[in-house]
Copies of this chain bind each other. A is one copy, B any other.
Amino acid sequence: MKADQLRTDKKRVTINDVAHLAGVVPSTVSHVLNQTASISEETRSRVLRAVEELNYSPNASARALRQKRTRLIGVAVQDISSEFYARCAASILEEARKDCYCVLLCDAAFDKENLKKGVMTLIERRVDGLIFIGGGNDEEIIREAQNAGVPIIMGDRHFEDFPSVEFDNRNTVRKLVKLLWKAGYQNYTYASEPTKIQGNLRERYEGFLEGLRECGASGEQIRVVFDERLHKEKIKGSFQIFENLISQTEDKEGTMVYVTSNDLIAYGILAAAEKKGIPIPGKLAVVGFDNIQLSEYYVPGLTTIAQDEKLLGRNCYQLFKKVIHGQVQERHIVLEQQIIGRESAILPLDGIKESKGR
C-alpha cells in the first residue's frame, strides 16, 4: 500500500444501488429525492423505502460536479479565536445550516499569507460565495477570488463596490466622544491597533477626532496611541504599553479617558491602572469596543460599544443568497452600534443605553 493511499476504499452505496433495489432507474431516484418531476406515489414510496433500507446518502461532490454549484460557502475571518469573529462565524453557520449550506472556514490568524493560502483553497473548492469578515490590505487576494468568479461579500468592512454589511463606526464613535465630553472628560487618549490595514478602525479613529473637533477640544487634550502589539495578544500588549504611559496622565488636570478599539485593549489599560492604584473612573476612565460577554460583569463594568454580530452574520448570509440569485437591490447595508454605559466611564444618561443587566 502506498503511503499516501487512504483506506477509504470501502464501497459506498450509490444512487444506482437504490434504483436497483427499488426496481427503477437512477434518474427516477434523483427525481424523487429532488422533487424535480412528478412521480407516482407508489414508485415514490418504493424509492424512499430503498433509500431508507440502504441508508443512502447522496454524494455531494458528484452532485456539485453536475450542478456546477457546491452549496459551499467560504468564510474568511481575521482571527477565529477572538469573540467578535467567533460570534460572526457562529451566526453565519447558523443561517447556513438551516439552508443545508456548508461553511468552509478560513482563519487568517492575523497573517496575510494564511489568508491567501486559505482563500486559494476555497477557490479550488468552488465555493458558491465568499464572505470576508474584517481584514484589509489584501486586495490581491480579493482579486484572485474575483477573477475566479466567486461572488464576494464584505462583512464589517468595505471594499470598492463589493456588497457589504458594515457598522456605522464613525458616527457611533463621534457620538460616544460627544457624550464623554458632555460628561465632563477633558483629556482623551485613543488606543488602537494601527489603522492602515483595516478601514473600519480608521473610521473609528476619524469619528473620534471629528467628535472632539466638534466639541472644540484642543490638541493638547488629545493623545493617540497606535501600536502593533495591540493586534494579536491585545490584553498583554495593552498592559505592557500602558503600564508605562499611564503614569503620565496623573500629572494632568482632570480625568483621562481612554477610547479603545477593543474590550481587551480596555482591560489591559484597566489592569495597568489597577496596578498603579489609579482610581477608576475618577482619575482614569476607559471605553472598550465589542461588548464581550464578560464586560457586563467585570468590576468595574466596562463602558463599551456593542456590535450585533448575529445581525452582521445573518445579513452577510442573506446578501450572499441574494447575490447568487441575481437579485441585489441594496448592496451596502449599514448596521447601528450601541453605546453601553457602565462604570468604567461615566456617560450622561440621556440617549444611551444603561445596560447593567443586574
Q: Which residues of A contact B (CB under 8 A)?
A: 1, 3-10, 12, 55, 57-62, 64-65, 68-70, 79-83, 86-87, 89-90, 93-94, 97, 100, 102-107, 109, 114, 117-118, 120-126, 128, 147-149, 151, 233-236, 239, 243, 264, 267-268, 270-271, 274-275, 293-294, 296-299, 324-326, 357-358
Interface pair B69/A8, CB less than 8 Å apart: yes
Query: Could you say which residues of chain B place their CB within 8 Å of the CB of A109?
Result: 90, 94
Given contacts A6-B69, A94-B109, A264-B294, 15 further A-B contacts (CB under 8 A): A7-B326, A8-B324, A10-B149, A60-B124, A61-B62, A81-B86, A81-B90, A82-B86, A86-B86, A89-B105, A89-B107, A94-B114, A104-B104, A275-B358, A294-B294
Interface pair A294/B114, CB less than 8 Å apart: no
Interface pair A126/B297, CB less than 8 Å apart: no
Interface pair A148/B326, CB less than 8 Å apart: no
- A103 CA to B117 CA in the complex, in Å? 13
- A100 CA to B296 CA in the complex, in Å? 41
Interface pair A68/B149, CB less than 8 Å apart: no
Find the residue from A6, A104, A270 having the highest chain B CB count within 10 A. Answer: A6
Query: Could you say which residues of chain B place their CB within 8 Å of the CB of A62?
Result: 61, 65
A82 to chain B minimum Cβ distance, whole angstroms, is 8
Copies in the complex: 2
Query: Could you say which residues of chain B place their CB within 8 Å of the CB of A80?
Result: 80, 86, 89-90, 93
- A234 CA to B358 CA in the complex, in Å? 15
A343 to chain B minimum Cβ distance, whole angstroms, is 11
A57 to chain B minimum Cβ distance, whole angstroms, is 5
Query: Could you say which residues of chain B place their CB within 8 Å of the CB of A123?
Result: 57
Known contacts A83-B81, A117-B97, A325-B6, A59 near B124 by CB under 8 Å: yes
Known contacts A81-B90, A124-B59, A297-B267, A358 near B239 by CB under 8 Å: yes
Query: Could you say which residues of chain B place their CB within 8 Å of the CB of A7?
Result: 324-326
A230 to chain B minimum Cβ distance, whole angstroms, is 13
Interface pair B233/A125, CB less than 8 Å apart: no
Interface pair B61/A65, CB less than 8 Å apart: yes
Query: Could you say which residues of chain B place their CB within 8 Å of the CB of A121?
Result: 97, 100, 102
Known contacts A117-B97, A324-B7, A324-B8, A104 near B107 by CB under 8 Å: no
Q: Of all chain B residues, which has the CB nearest A7?
A: B326
A157 to chain B minimum Cβ distance, whole angstroms, is 20
Among the listed B60, B117, B122, B235, which residue makes an inter-chain contact with A296, where contact means beta carbons less than 8 Å apart? B235
Among the listed B6, B114, B236, B294, which residue makes an inter-chain contact with A128, where contact means beta carbons less than 8 Å apart? B6
Q: Of all chain B residues, which has the CB nearest A323?
A: B7
- A109 CA to B84 CA in the complex, in Å? 16
